[in-house]
Structure 1
């Protein structure tokens, strides 16, 4: 999808709603189109489309990299289901990830389950506001 495609969709949505008696502004239509495509708002979708930075779709068996609770990882997708905006993912790490930030003890994880959005970000966040999981296809 291109930026122009998204704008055309927003215009079509406005017209369709208007014929049914619901009037919305162009900005509101753009926001609705953005959410329909899994972005949190129009600015996010606009940036993704303008820069061509839409993440590559993830698939079962893909090699992935990212951060889990702030720690870098490499691994493989061993389960994947649901729509892009609310995808359930299970990853087996190549090396265990220590999810504790204290030096006095460790808690190693070899495998995790999470729910991510279309951008590969978990819906849950750490106390500092960062996504608990950030996942991308491994760069080869």
Structure 2
């Protein structure tokens, strides 16, 4: 099983998932054992080693200057991260994006509303809490590459 874990927070989240899966099977799994299991899956000797190595990675899911893509108000985009700010208590991030090409955010044919720089609050997974009237997140953003300017 290949894990796409790059930060200590992601490793801890995976340990919580392992505990939840064990509970669904009627098994008991302590948090400490779940952390050790994640460490072994990642190729580390133990959780302390994994934690030390992973702590050197940025906990911010997206960094300034990084290439990103996704959807803004249902429209596809590509662009760069212009700013990132962690929200209180690590509950998410405020992100400012600069799109390569302006995005038309109006669904009517009779006029347009172009946006090239937008800000939104997103979860660690890159999804905004704000949603359109039909339940689609305003912003879904993902890394294109690790290439920074």
- Residue 126 of structure 1, aligned match among 89, 108, 132: 132
8 Å contact 2:102–2:115 — kept in the other structure?
yes
Please report the TM-score for the alignment, with normalisation by the length of structure 2. Answer: 0.57
Task: Say whether residues 1:137 and 2:135 are aligned partners.
Answer: no
Please report the TM-score for the alignment, with normalisation by the length of structure 1. Answer: 0.61
Moved over 4 A (4+): 7-10
CA-CA distance at 1:8 after TM superposition: 8.0
8 Å contact 2:61–2:125 — kept in the other structure?
no
CA-CA distance at 1:70 after TM superposition: 0.2
Across the two proteins, how many residue pairs are aligned to each other?
A: 98
8 Å contact 2:69–2:143 — kept in the other structure?
yes
- Residue 75 of structure 1, aligned match among 79, 104, 108: 79
How has the CA–CA distance of structure 1 residues 88 and 3 changed in structure 2, closer, same or farther, with 3 Å as cutoff? closer
Distance 2:142 2:63 in 1: 11
How has the CA–CA distance of structure 1 residues 61 and 108 changed in structure 2, closer, same or farther, with 3 Å as cutoff? same
Partner of 2:91, secondary structure, is helix
Distance 2:65 2:19 in 1: 34
How has the CA–CA distance of structure 1 residues 104 and 87 changed in structure 2, closer, same or farther, with 3 Å as cutoff? same
How has the CA–CA distance of structure 1 residues 126 and 8 changed in structure 2, closer, same or farther, with 3 Å as cutoff? closer
- The unaligned stretches of length 5 or more in structure 1 are 11-25, 28-32, 34-55
